[in-house]
Amino acid sequence: MASLQDSPGDSSFVLNDKDVKDFPFSLDSDDDMGSTSDPANDKDKLHPEVLKDLETHQAFMRQAINVAEEALAGGETPVACVLVYSKEVVARGMNDTNRSLNGTRHAEFLAISEFLSKFPVSKMKETDLYVTVEPCIMCASALRQYGIRCVYFGCGNDRFGGNGSVLAVHSDKGLEEGYPSYGGIFRKEAIMLLRRFYIQENENAPNPRAKGNRELKPVV
C-alpha cells in the first residue's frame, strides 16, 4: 500500500509507500483501502483448497490473529503466526523488531525457533504455517529451506511479499522443494490490526510523526 496521509476533506487515512519507513508492509488493497464492492477486487475470494476445510483453517488463523493482538497490545507490529503439526498448534511467533531493534526478528523466525526446540527439522515437512500477513521474501525463503508443508496467510504484502505478491519464492524453481501457499483467510482482520498499529506513535521510528489527528478507517 502506499503512504500515511490524510485525504483532503477526510480525517481518515490511507497508507502509501513514501511514508512507511517505520512500517514494513504495503498491504494488498488499493490506496483508498479498496472497495470490496468492486467486482475486480477478488482478494477476499478463498482458494478452493482452503474452502474444503474452511472451519479448520479459520480456527488456526484465529489463533494467529490472537497472537497478533498480543503484539499490538505490547506496542509491536501486529504480525503473528502459528505452526501446526499433527493438527495442533505447537509453536507461535510475533514480530519482535520494534522491541529488539533487530530487523530479522520476524514472527516466522521466532516460531521456527520454538518449533526446532521441540522437534527435529524433518518434522517441518509435516507442518503448516498460519500467518496474518504474507511472509516477506526473507521469511518465504527460510520456510522453503526448512521444508514447510504449506503456508496460509491473511493479507498480502505488495511491498515485500515472498509468496506471490512481489516474488514467488515459495514456488520458483530452486534446489529446495517449493510449498503451496494460500491467502485471504481473515484478510480484513489482518489489515485492521496493522491500521490500528500505524495510527499510534512509533517511538522507535527514525523520525516519529505525530499521529494524534488520524482516525481509524474501518472500510477494507
Rounded CA separation 209/126 (Å): 44
CB atoms within 10 A of CB 156: 24
Residue 94 burial by CB count (10 A; 0-12/13-18/19+): exposed, middle or buried?
A: buried
Rounded CA separation 179/208 (Å): 39
Q: Sort strands 181-182 and 127-133 into parallel, antiparallel or unpaired.
A: unpaired
- 108: annotated active-site residue: yes
Residues, the chain: 220
Task: Mark out the alpha helices in the chain (DSSP H runs).
Answer: 48-51, 54-73, 97-100, 107-116, 137-146, 187-198
Q: Which of 70, 76, 88, 108 is catalytic?
A: 108
Rounded CA separation 188/219 (Å): 9
Catalytic sites, residue numbers? 108
